[in-house]
Chain A
Amino acid sequence: MAQNQTEIRYLNPPTVEVKKKKYCRFKKNGIKYIDYKDGEFLKKFLNEQGRILPRRLTGTSQKYQKKVATAVKRARHLAILPFVTDLMK
């Protein structure tokens, strides 16, 4: 039983996900203010359903994640961004 375990041969080696070092894009390019009025920029931080992406995916630092969150909520209040959609992008 144990032999055929080791005999499993993969046709092509399984691609292990190379760990990309995440960085906070605001610190890197020195953006200080996130504008709640331009929806295009804020859409990068929303998923298809229009929900805010968590920090672990976008890699932004906590300080700027809070700014993004308030900006998105203001944009939603002004109907620039929807609260919930099915197909955003």
Chain B
Amino acid sequence: MNNYETVFIATPVLNDAQLSELVGKFRGVITENGGQIVSQEDWGLRKLAYPIQKKSTGFYFLLQFTGEGNIIEKLETQYNRDERVIRFLTFKMDKHAVEYAEKRRKNINTKKEE
């Protein structure tokens, strides 16, 4: 059971309903193949450093999950098929990365409470 972190960028032309449906779809892909979602973050609409597919902004989503290795192959085929996702990156986290993610989540929550 390894830890993975995936970030993907969705096209800015989507409205909220389509966005949540998109994220739900990828969460489904993970949970169906025996993965467990640890946390999800959406950074909302952000300016891209360079235009991708002629678009200069995009919706960023981060999903941290644990699971077997074969999930990634399925997840990435879904990413490639879905044309609303313009860029994605999955990353296998080592123990330092997992610690860092917990610490980051803690101070994000504390910031929210203030």
Q: Which residue of B lies closest to A38 (CB)?
A: B104
Query: Residues on A close to B: CB < 8 A?
Result: 32-33, 35-37, 74, 76-83, 85
Determine the main DSSP class of A at the interface with B: loop
Q: Are B49 and A77 in contact (CB under 8 A)?
A: no
Question: How many A-B contacts are there with CB distance less than 8 Å?
Answer: 38
- CB-CB under 8 A from A85, the residues of chain B are 49
Q: How many chain-B residues does the 8 Å CB contact rule pick out?
A: 18
**Central interface residue in A76, A79, A81, A85, by most chain B CB within 10 Å:** A79
Residues 7-18 of chain B, each 1 if its beta carbon lies under 8 Å from chain A, else 0:
101000000000
Question: A74, A78, A81, A85 — which one has the most chain B CB atoms within 10 A of its CB?
Answer: A78
CB of B45 within 8 A of chain A? no
Residue pair A79, B9 in contact (C-beta under 8 Å): yes
Residue of A36, A74, A80 touching B49 (CB-CB under 8 A): A80
B91 near A74 with CB under 8 A, answer yes
Interchain nearest-CB distance for A59 vs B (Å): 21
B49-107: which have CB < 8 Å to A? 49-50, 52, 58, 60, 62, 87, 89, 91, 94, 96-97, 99-100, 104
Q: Which of chain B's residues have a CB closer than 8 A to the CB of A81?
A: 49
**What residues of B have a CB within 8 angstroms of the CB of A82 in the complex?**
49-50
| Inter-subunit contact B104/A35 (CB<8 Å) | yes
